[in-house]
Amino acid sequence: MGGCCCSARKPHLHGTPVYYYCPPTLEEHESLTSNDGTATSLTTGLLVGLNLETSTPDTYHPPPAPLPYDMVLGGPASTDSESGRETVSGSSFETLITCKDPEESDCKIKANSAPISPSKAGLSKSKEFHALVTEEEDGCPICLEEYDVENPKTLTKCEHHFHLSCILEWMERSDSCPICDQEMIFDQTLN
């Protein structure tokens, strides 16, 4: 069953472009596994050609071959899948999916009409920041370290948290919240 799905999808993708198609998580996993060998061979061949480039500085040592894309890029949909695999909490994943489904249809409409609008870009950025917080819920988004008695959590009016030293260092450069870009105001009640 899984094998059939993979083999059926691959020729289709090669032949005709498919937009906004995002396989289920399980299927993606299978696709990723089965494609590893093929992708490695393909990339290895390409790497041989790349070695002929003279623009690459001597200090460049190619990293391991990238994993192949196991999903068709659909904007928010792709990000959803990525976030889903990383998030431990199932409910959090579901929440992300629910929030972003309307966005996907919106993306389809926009793809066929006007260029990306500024508000769209803003929304995209905001969602990404929230995804970051979800991944590191218990730590400071700036230094990625956990909070403790010596270095406690400092809340802001926009309900984001940081170490006091981290956010003060950032505020030397900008008055906006690193996560949501709103004006930075500390929540007085907790201080």
Partner 1 sequence: MANSNLPRRIIKETQRLLSEPAPGISASPSEDNMRYFNVMILGPTQSPYEGGVFKLELFLPEEYPMAAPKVRFLTKIYHPNIDKLGRICLDILKDKWSPALGIRTVLLRYICLSSFTLVDVYLKRPIHFLKKCSKHQSAFQYQPVHGFYKM
Chain residues in the site for partner 1 (CB under 8 A): 13, 15-19, 32, 43, 46-47, 49-50, 53, 55-57, 59-73, 75, 78-79, 82, 86, 111-112, 115-116, 124-125, 128-129, 132-133, 141-145, 166, 169-170, 173, 178-179, 181
Q: Which residue type does 95 have?
A: T
Q: Quick count: other Cβ atoms within 10 Å of Cβ 127?
A: 18
Comparing CA positions, the residue from 99, 82, 109, 84 lying closest to residue 20 is: 109
**Alpha-carbon distances of 64 from 44, 67, 78, 145, 174, rounded to whole Å:** 10, 9, 23, 28, 37
Q: Pick the closer one to partner 1 by CB: 7 or 44.
A: 44
Shortest Cβ distance from residue 69 to partner 1 (Å)? 5
Shortest Cβ distance from residue 181 to partner 1 (Å)? 7
Shortest Cβ distance from residue 21 to partner 1 (Å)? 9
Q: Pick the closer one to partner 1 by CB: 172 or 189.
A: 172
CA 9 to chain centre: 24
**Are 60 and 47 within 8 A, CB to CB?**
no
Shortest Cβ distance from residue 172 to partner 1 (Å)? 8
